[in-house]
Amino acid sequence: MPDPTVLFPTVLGGVAALLRLPGLLRNPHDPLLRAVMAMLVAGVGVFFFTSVPVVAKINELTGVPNAAAPFDYFWAMACAASGIVLIINWRGGSPERIRRATRWCIGGYGTLCVALVVLFAQAEAPVERLRDLDTYYANTPYMREMIVLYLVGHTAAATVMASMCWRWLRHVGGELRAGLALMVTGYGLAIGFGLLKFTALGARWAGADWDVLSTEVARGFTSVAAPLIACGMVLPIVVRRFRGRWQDWTRYRRLEPLSRLVGGLAPTRAAVSVPLLASVGVRRLQRESLIHDGLLTLNPYFDLGLRARTLAEAVADGATGDRAAADADAAMVLAAVETMRADPERRVIASSRALQEPAGEDRDLVRISQALVHTWKRAAGGPGAGGATR
């Protein structure tokens, strides 16, 4: 059975990368999106390639004991570098400064990766260690330096990320603040991972055996840190996407009464077919377009005097400005529909040389639609309630 401490963060990171992929495909040259994708892919690589079965397979395929070590460290450095590049882009600034800082970061961690490979090539590490390589070779020349370099690079990146996210956290709110809080927690645990590793190494250098800190406790820290960081990155995206779709659906639903009343009044309708699986945002736009076309057709029938009287009565009854305006617009639209029905030959439209005012351009269509509902409820069985369906 796969190790859940490896499987869960690997799958979660993969899902997070897939959620980011559409945005990257639409904007392949966006440095921020590229940094996020690189970090997520590197994070998945870290957990996948450091799992014990994969480590053993890499060693077997290469025929070199512990060959997976520099390979795994490469993925860790790639994750660290992409995280810092991500922060550089988040922080903003001139494009030239961002490119320069990005080049320095990639160059620095690229050099570190080369140094790790060189040190491993110089070391003598004939015994394969799948779980405790760090502490087993803590006193072996070149292996010791390779391990320390890896931990320094990893811990430095986690510290920078935690610091930057913490400073940003204090200036934002909502889902972004929640996401940053998760990331700060995750990077705090990543710092703890490095400190535990250093502690276990220090114990080995002093002649003690605290290997459990490296092999068990530290691994537990990073297994929790990775999902927290991935969730922190994904949470703002998911919440914003869900909120946008929910707002589209709510507006679409609340526009239904007004759409039923005026949506079919235009003499000609645009031949635009909405696919069966079209998003609710597309359906909302189509409904709004039909309403605007209907209001434009009704414009010659609008009685602005009736609207003014209804508005004054609503204000006198204590209605707020927006609610009173919506009630007045609803009354004017209902009256215009009845007047238009009494003019089947459309003489008023044919003789109208100019519209009285823009039809619904600056009006709150949702408020008007909901005002129609209240009007029909008050006048149940009246002409508005029965004749609105098209």
Q: Is the pLDDT of residue 51 over 70?
A: yes
Q: Of 72-76, 86-90, 386-390, which range is least confident?
A: 386-390
Least confident of 100-104, 145-149, 341-345: 341-345
Over range 254-271, report the average pLDDT.
76
pLDDT given at position 1: 45
pLDDT of 59 above 90: yes
pLDDT at site 362: 52
Under the banding of pLDDT at 50, 70 and 90, the label for residue 364 is: confident
pLDDT for res 363: 64
pLDDT tens-digit profile of 272-307?
Answer: 566 666 778 888 888 888 888 888 888 888 888 888
Q: What is the mean pLDDT of residues 174-183?
A: 89
Q: Does residue 271 surpass a pLDDT of 60? A: no
What mean pLDDT comes out for the span 161-166?
89
Q: Regarding predicted confidence, which is higher, 194 or 19? A: 194
Range list for CATH 1.20.1070 in the chain: 4-251
7 phi, psi to nearest 5 deg:
-65, -45
Confidence of residue 386 (pLDDT cuts 50, 70, 90): very low
Mean pLDDT for 305-322 is: 84
The pLDDT of residue 352: 55
Predicted local distance difference test score (pLDDT) of residue 382: 45
Q: Who has greater pLDDT, 57 or 373? A: 57
* Structure confidence at residue 351 (pLDDT): 59
Of residues 5 and 159, more confidence is placed in 159
Measured between alpha carbons, how far is 377 from 266 in angstroms, rounded to an integer?
26
Task: Out of 73-87, 98-112, 275-289, pick the least confident.
Answer: 275-289
Class of the CATH domain delimited by 4-251:
mainly alpha
What's the pLDDT score for residue 353?
Answer: 45
pLDDT above 70 covers what percent of the chain?
A: 88
Checking if the pLDDT of 135 tops 70, the result is yes
What is the residue-averaged pLDDT of the chain? 82
Residues 46-71 have a mean pLDDT of: 89
The predicted model scores a pTM of 0.71
